[in-house]
Amino acid sequence: MAGATVTSAYSQGEAARAQGDFQKSQGELNAYLGEEAAKDAIIRGGQEARTSKAKTDKLVASQRVAMAAQGLDINDAGSSGADVLESTRAIGAVDEMNIKTNAWREAYGYKIDAINNRASGQMAAIAGRSTQRQTMIAGGMNAFSYTASGVAE
């Protein structure tokens, strides 16, 4: 009986440790995937910001052509044409910054998730080893108790 108790405790302890190690590896994998998603969000944000800038530049160019066709002086800093172009550029710059800011916020969320996944995995591994030790101690004490009471066979 004592031998079976020790064997059972060992098996249960190993299973708890293995489960904790598996959860740790899953946490590491999820953290890696989160970090990659964060990088992707930054890259996509940069691409989207460049596309937005190109659209703004195209709009400014078409406005310049339209104003020149109407005979407006767009080179005079005080003219309404120059003001329109400056407003278009300013709105475009704000759009670019919003796109980049949103990409950074998305990336930040992925990075926080990665940190949490890694920490959860580490805690699962610690808990698995702790359960393993507790199971081995309890099994050993039960085996000792069986031996001491004469039920060891």
* C-beta of residue 12 within 8 angstroms of C-beta of residue 142: no
Residue 10 belongs to domain spanning? 2-148
* C-beta of residue 121 within 8 angstroms of C-beta of residue 25: yes
Across all residues in the chain, what is the average pLDDT? 87
Domain-embedded: residue 104: yes
**CB neighbourhood size of 3 (10 A):** 12
Count of structural domains within the chain = 1
Domain-embedded: residue 153: no
| pLDDT attached to residue 75 | 79
| pLDDT attached to residue 5 | 66
Top-ranked range on mean pLDDT: pick from 16-30, 35-49, 75-89? 35-49
Share of the chain above pLDDT 70, in %: 88
Mean pLDDT of 49-76: 92
Domain CATH code at residue 101: 1.10.287
Domain-embedded: residue 96: yes
Cα 121 to Cα 32: distance, rounded to the nearest angstrom:
12
pTM of the full structure: 0.73
Owner of token pair 């190690």: 21
